[in-house]
Structure 1
Amino acid sequence: MLRWAPYPFVRIVLSFIAGIGLYFWLGAQLGQALWLLMAVFSAFVAAAILARKYKSAFATDVAGILALLTFVVLGYVTVHQRTELNQPDHIAHLKAAPSYYKGVVDDYVLQKPGYQSTVLEVEQVQVNGHWQQATGKVQLSVPHDSEKKYELRYGDVLLVKGSPQEVAPPLNPNQFDYKAYLGNKGIYHQHYLQPLQYQKIAADPPNLILYYSILLRRNLDAVLQERVGQKREYAIASALILGVKDELDNSIRQAYADTGTMHVLAVSGLHVGLIYGVLMFLFGRFTATARQRWFGTILVLAALWLYAFVTGLSPSVLRAVLMFSLVAIGMALRRRTVIYNTIAFAALALLYLNPYNLLEVGFQLSFLAVLGIVYLQPRLYGLLAVRSRPLDFLWALFTVALAAQLATFPLGIYYFHQFPVYFWLANILVVPLATWVLFSGVAALAFSWVPGLSWLLFQVHFWLIWLMNEFNLWLQRWPQAILSAIDITAGQTWLLYLIMLAFILFLALKRLRYLALAVGMVAILSGQEMWEQVQQRQQRQLVVYSVRGSTGIGLVQGQQALVLADSALLQKQQSYTFSVQPHLRQLGIAQPKQVPFVSPEAPAVSLPDGNQLLVWQGQRWLILSRPPKLQPKPGFAVDYLMLRQNVRLKPEQLQAYTFSKLVLDGSNAPWYRQRLHQQLDTLGIAYVDVAESGAFVLEL
């Protein structure tokens, strides 16, 4: 029988999470719901008084249920209060677009190729010539082509000309929803600035502690860049020690992702846990008296929070530091710390400060990994008794990696659509290497002012990173190193976790009904997969994708697909991965074939004037990328006519063709599309602009 009594914070945080989920489901339909919170809390107080007076088990149960309901409503109220869009002076509620706006840089500045990205906290806007107070966050993109490392700094006050735009929704099926991603951070607008479109007018950091933390991190990053030397190794050092990933190369990033070791590059629970373990080993001897225990605990807490300060006080590090700080304090109090209560309290504190943390992938994965390590690792470790200390250490590392991977396995597949087959082998070597990389890097930075010693430490640091990189690249080349193109729904993700929970309950409680429940859910999941396979074999689609500056046409038949792409799309693999691949993966197509738009493999006929006639599955598409020089014969008709690459023609020429609808693809420039919109509307020609309305999907 499961006993809840020792885990009060687990019950509380689950109730609070239920309230957060209720808000995400209902929205602001209940308003601020303060009246509901007061009503439920008053009912709880009344029930608690009655339970204490009459010593009734029923009244005690009612009081407990009402207490949990209070936290449910508190979760709902907290989300409403933390949602910036609910503020009456938010820029989303302006009646007219502002001409200018003023705000302060309130986030890290991220380096991107050719530009830098940050967040501006709006303070004032100018509407119709009048300045007024306003709130809201704007994702800014600032061009960067100067020799300066950073164009902007945290705390810079900017005057910006123009009006920020609402973040656009995804334009292709199953594409990553960047609008929702930014919305979870309270950002609903973005602005791509030109060099003379903004001006720094002051410096007023909202948080001086964060300001100096970011400044220190930048200085240490500059030391790493100078002393490590090689760009690849420097990028790993900066990411692993300081959490700065601006210079990470896509190929090395992919290698770590494919081997299941990407977590070592994300400064979070692993790094803080390693530092905590070393600190406890060093200061764990101070246990004789209460004064010694608290002296050791204060040293541990100081070191942990100093590391958080050095890494820029990033949310992932703060999560881990808070959790380990609570564990350290619990040990100092000499109370039997229930780790699940500690984890739950840390989650409750973080969710109260920002309930949208619940939707953050990093938040979900980090807490699931910790829960997996806490519960599963000791049980996995106990399956095998190893007498050799080195082998026992390797077995412990293996069980830690396996426990974390099992706990995050369904969620990892849902978000990243892949599974690293050799994660167990990679983690056995990479985690110890990353440990030495971390400590050697910290030591090298600490003694960077000492000649000779600093050179030696940086050399050790460099070659450890080189070895770790080469091992990951080597392992990435192994056969079947990664299972990719796996697509599951949110419902199937929950089902996988329920199956795992049922198996755990069966093993823990030895009750056959849990095994039967797990087997039943496996049958349901298998039935869903088989039905999905049947549907996918029958599907036929012609899709014109919305890809900025490119042409991409998907021809889907069953579980096979041919993607017709122009040279711009073929050369930009990132555009294909972001815009096209998610839809094909959702359709169950693991290996679509990409071919040039004009090639023998494409089911298109090249016309004498350089245009194409696409004939596929009974569909005929006339695709114009050059001025048409051929007059259609009487009775010649096509299903669709598509314009690409800003083809020069007069809209009146289109009246010579017979077609049901005109399609403008993403290779056309904005000025061209806007001019053509007006002309097509005047002529009464029906059209679809995929750059505005999203991908055109034709079910056949």
Structure 2
Amino acid sequence: MLLGGHESIDFETRSSYAALGAIHILSVSGMHVGVLFLCIQFFLQFIPKRNHITTVGSFLLPLFFIWMYAGITGFSAPVLRASCMFSVVLFAQTFRYPLNSINLLAFTGFVMLVWDPMQLYDAGFQLSFLAVLGILLFQVKLHALWEPKMKHSWLQYLLKQVWALTTVAITAQVLTFPWILFYFHQFPHVGIMLLANPLLVLLSTISLILGLAFLLIAPVLYAFDITYFYVLLGKWLNISFTVLHEVMFWIDHTFQPTTPFLHWETWMFFPYYLLLLLGIIWWEIRHKVILILLAFVFLGSITYFQWEQWQAFRKQKIAYLGQYRGETVWLEIHGLKARLRASHRIFQDPAWIQSNISPVLAHHFIQDTIHERWKSEENVSWTWKGKRFYLAHYSTVLFPKGINVMILDSKLKKQGFEWLKWRRPENRFWTQSLTDYYQRKLNIIETKPNFQVALDTVTAKWY
């Protein structure tokens, strides 16, 4: 959370934060750089800028800490984006240049794409810039719609901060909403996200400030053997993390924070952004013609979506053949139902299923999925669309006749290839690539080998 070492974070913690739309808290992102920038700015305000030297120093010192932190966290893409933006903000503030937020965002994106044009296709790049753009375009207008008025000043201040965080959470999703569905096929429950996000952001900000203070101060305290303050600061940090995680897990386990298996096609981007544009135009001019266009685009999109789902229910019948860590995975789809056939290992890795299987199910409107486990020590045969599939986990003399597709466990290479000499189906797949040594041995047996490929070298084959 502080230094970017997220390899040991368990799947449950990741999924809980993602379900609440707060995954940016868990991973080092622009939020962390922002907190660091504000902390540095807070301390620098006590230094008077009386001459050119102090002015340059007040610019170089925060710049050094920001990019040092970016280097410590491994120059991850979100931190790089935030570091570039805050560097420009710092330069403009220090030397009193006019600053336009949209121009700043565009300049940062331009510089990063010049450095690495392939970032344009990175989901993190797209989502982060769209989220910031949404905040810049809509947050002020949304925040102005309501102003809390309470008798007690402290309560009014608290409500203002909560409302500000809520508007930021809403506007950050305005432009990113379709992309989140397109990439992840799930979305946090709107009510839970809006209620939980301000609280989680507050708690995480406290944890970040304490954590950054611990990283900076603890080595000094330890070096001078000031153990009391060293231990006290560590206890505060531990309590802040504990409270943050307990609140997050309680919300995740008490409510249903995520709506899964949501369908989003490429064509849906056009009507969504058209509706958004028409809504903005209507808000400015309030003309009934715009409302008619809004209704027409909305009803047309819903009608086409329902027709597409009906077509899928009537006609779709497709299967995918892939592999998971050297083991075969078979997913067949018929109508709005699916059957996932694999060994027990895949069902013990929900992260892989969420990343590889869930998007396919969402894409095909699947409403019901059956899991079927096959034993890794048994050979399996099945038929699909008139083709005979055979999965071989061990070599045998007796094979069924009429095999069209044979899938071979890569462990079978250690048993030699003589038993394959007279078994030549239309297609043959190895679950993992053969080394040059085993490939030469196979070529000796088969001077004219049939079509064969390793499943780990291609995307899933479909039938």
Secondary structure (helix, strand or coil) at the match of 1:556 reads strand
Instruction: Mark the CA change 1:694 to 1:439 in structure 2 (over 3 Å): closer, same or farther.
Output: closer
Farther-moved stretch of structure 1 (673-682 vs 317-326): 673-682
Distance 1:300-1:512 versus aligned 2 partners, 3 A rule: farther
Pair 1:268-2:36 in alignment:
no
Structure 2 partner of 1:482: 258
Identity of aligned residues (%): 27
CA contact (8 A) 2:184 2:359 kept: no
Unpaired runs of at least 5, structure 2: 150-155
1:393 aligned partner = 161
Q: Does 1:493 align with 2:269?
A: yes
Q: Which moved more, 1:352-361 or 1:554-563?
A: 352-361
Residue 260 of structure 1 contacts residue 426 of structure 1 at CA under 8 Å; is this kept in 2? no
SS for the counterpart of 1:588 is: coil
SS across alignment from 2:99: coil
Are residues 638 and 431 of structure 1, via their aligned partners in 2, closer, same or farther at CA, if it must alter by over 3 Å?
A: same
Instruction: Indicate whether 1:323 and 2:109 are aligned.
Output: no
Change (3 A) 1:514 1:271: farther
Match of 2:443 among 678, 683, 687: 678
Amino acid at match of 1:555: E
Q: 1:646 to 1:474 in 2, by over 3 A?
A: same
**Counterpart residue type for residue 68 of structure 2:** F
User: Which of 456, 460, 480 is 2:232 aligned to?
Assistant: 456
Q: What TM-score comes out, normalization by structure 2 length? A: 0.81
Which gives a bigger RCO, structure 1 or 2 (Cα 8 Å, sep 6+)? 2
What is the alpha-carbon distance in structure 1 between the residues aligned to residue 32 and residue 381 of structure 2? 58
Q: Choose from 171, 175, 186 the match for 1:403.
A: 171
**Where does residue 561 of structure 1 map in the other structure?**
338
Aligned to 1:661: 426
Match of 1:428 in 2: 198
Q: Summarize the Cα distance change of 1:322–1:513 in structure 2 as closer, same or farther, 3 Å threshold.
A: farther
* Partners of 2:438 and 2:325 in 1: CA distance: 13
Instruction: Report the Cα distance in structure 2 between the residues aligned to 1:641 and 1:270, rounded to whole angstroms.
Output: 51
Q: Give 1:624 deviation, angstroms.
A: 3.5
Number of residue pairs aligned between Structure 1 and Structure 2:
443
Instruction: Indicate yes or no: 2:69 matched with 1:310.
Output: yes
The match for 2:153 is: none
2:145 is the counterpart of 1:383: yes
In 2: Cα distance, 1:431 partner to 1:297 partner = 33
Distance 1:650 1:264, change over 3 A: closer
Asked if 1:360 corresponds to 2:122, the answer is: yes
Q: Please give the root-mean-square deviation of Cα atoms over the aligned residues, in Å.
A: 3.6
CA distance in structure 1 between the aligned counterparts of 2:17 and 2:284, rounded to whole angstroms: 35
Corresponding residue for 1:441? 211
Distance change >3 Å, CA 576–CA 678, structure 1 → 2: farther
Choose which of 604, 608, 613 in structure 1 pairs with 2:381.
613
What is the correspondence of 1:14-33 to structure 2 with a 5 Å cutoff?
Answer: none
- Structure 2 partner of 1:172: none
Cα distance in 1 for partners of 2:119, 2:432 equals: 37
User: Which structure has greater helix proportion?
Assistant: 2
- TM-score calculated relative to the size of structure 1: 0.56
Distance 1:447-1:610 versus aligned 2 partners, 3 A rule: closer
Contact persistence 1:242–1:312 (CA under 8 A): no
Partner of 1:370: 132
d(CA) in 2 for partners of 1:275 and 1:592?
A: 46
Q: How many Å separate the matches in 1 of 2:60 and 2:299?
A: 49
Q: Is the 8 A contact 1:286 1:296 kept in 2?
A: no
1:337 aligns with 2:95: no
Give, in whole Å, the separation in 1 of the partners of 2:92 and 2:127. 25
Residues 185 and 359, structure 2, Cα contact 8 Å, conserved in 1: no
1:277-288 paired onto structure 2 within 5 Å:
277-278=38-39
Q: C-alpha deviations, 1:542-585, integer Å up to 9, x for none?
A: 33213341021122211211111123433444444454444333
Task: Tell me: CA distance 1:339–1:692, structure 2 relative to 1, closer, same or farther (3 Å).
Answer: closer
Distance, in Å, in 2 between the alignment partners of 1:509 and 1:330 is 35
Equivalent-residue separation in structure 1 for 2:110 and 2:454 (angstroms): 46
What are the superposed Cα offsets for residues 605-630 of structure 1, whole Å, 9 maximum, x if unpaired? Answer: xxxx9544324565543443333354
Give the structure 2 partner of residue 552 of structure 1: 329
1:283/1:364 CA distance change after superposition, 3 Å: same
Map of 2:462 onto structure 1: 697
Deviation at 1:253, TM superposition (A): 1.8
Q: 1:505/1:329 Cα in 2 relative to 1: closer, same or farther (>3 Å)?
A: farther
**Letter of the aligned partner of 2:129 in structure 1?**
F
Distance 1:662 1:373, change over 3 A: closer
The separation in 1 between residues aligned to 2:64 and 2:384, in whole angstroms, is: 63
| TM-fit CA distance, 1:518 | 3.7
Distance (whole Å) between structure 1 residues aligned to residue 115 and residue 398 of structure 2: 66
Structure 2 CA distance for aligned equivalents of residues 685 and 652 of structure 1: 15
8 Å contact from structure 2 (residues 130, 175) kept in 1: yes
Runs of at least 5 residues in structure 1 that lack an aligned partner in the other structure: 1-238, 600-608
Partners of 1:697 and 1:558 lie apart in 2 by 16
Deviation at 1:443, TM superposition (A): 1.7
**Structure 1 pair 397/644, CA: closer, same or farther in 2 (3 Å)?**
same
Give distance in 2, aligned partners of 1:260 and 1:419.
8
Secondary structure in structure 2 of the residue aligned to 1:543:
strand
Distance 2:359 2:118 in 1: 25
Give the CA deviation at 1:430.
1.1
Select 1:299's aligned residue among 58, 70, 78. 58
Which is worse superposed, 446-455 or 676-685?
676-685
Contact 1:546 1:694 in 2 (8 A): no
